[in-house]
Amino acid sequence: MIGTDDIAAIVEEYDRLKLRIGMTASHSALDICDGAIEEGFPTVAYCKEGRHKTYANYFKTHRSSSGRVLRGMVDKAIVLNDFNDVLSEELQHEMRKRNVIYIPNRSFTSYSSIDDIEHRFHVPMFGSRNMLRMEERTEDQDYYWILEKAGLPYPDKIDSPEEIDCLVIVKLHHAQKKLERGFFTCASFQEYQQKSAALLSEGVIDQASLDGARIERYVIGPVFNLNFFYSPLAEEGERLELLGVDWRFESSLDGHVRLPAP
């Protein structure tokens, strides 16, 4: 793990008046850019070729002669062959020269391995580098562990498929599209066997992921994400801020669930 002292030494070389906010240009990148611009920080989006126009063209920052933002939120878009190229020594050197503080959004830890981020990414990041693993359900101290420690409720876990006695959701990765989900629902062990066998034969899931899947009781209710921001630097008022609530649409799923049952 890259230590706090190592990062502190890098920050000491930064020009504090020329800090830039950098991020992997996917998922929540525009939210990050919007917030950074609002706080007065220039932004650098690290994009993948073919997926870069959102940042390089449509949300490109336009400023007045005095530097005031007229519209847009992405000051510089750097186009890469692959998102993982941000780990190259050359690009990390350029980030440090630009005084970049990197925001580790979910896409960063999806396209680059957490091992590499912990041990090879010598760029200051916002937040705690040693907490990134908690995003993964396969870790001992994952987000369920955090919820338990915080005393917050979460769906009951079903320890084995044979114990399924109600509607459950089986959580695992898609076999071909590793960043997508291969989730499915079932209400009995027999249905679990039927659905998992069909998904295995279609190549949607694989046996290793199925063996490590988390099975939990299906919770009926609204589907939304609560977006919070916590700042230990706030001197007055509540340090925890609710930024907004959103609903994430994934591929054609929303259209499918709106189909009439017959």
Length of the chain: 262
Tokens for 40? 């007065």
* pLDDT of res. 225: 85
Residue 111: CA count within 13 A, CB half-sphere: 21
Q: What's 168's DSSP letter? A: E
Radius of gyration for the chain, computed over Cα atoms and rounded to the nearest angstrom: 21
Which amino acid would we find at residue 46?
Y
Domains of the chain with CATH codes: 4-135 (3.40.50.20), 157-217 (no CATH)
* pLDDT of res. 182: 87
* pLDDT of res. 250: 67
35 Cβ partners below 8 Å, 6+ apart? none
* pLDDT of res. 178: 67
* pLDDT of res. 228: 86
User: Which residues are 251's β-sheet partners?
Assistant: none
Q: What's 223's DSSP letter? A: -
Q: How far apart are CA 38 and CA 25, in angstroms?
A: 18
Give, for all 262 residues of the chain, the pLDDT tens digit: 999 999 999 999 999 999 999 999 997 899 999 999 999 999 999 999 999 999 999 999 999 999 999 999 999 999 999 999 999 999 999 999 999 999 999 899 989 999 999 999 999 999 899 899 988 777 888 989 999 999 999 999 999 999 999 999 999 988 887 667 889 999 999 999 999 999 999 999 999 999 999 999 999 988 888 888 888 888 888 899 998 898 877 667 778 878 888 8
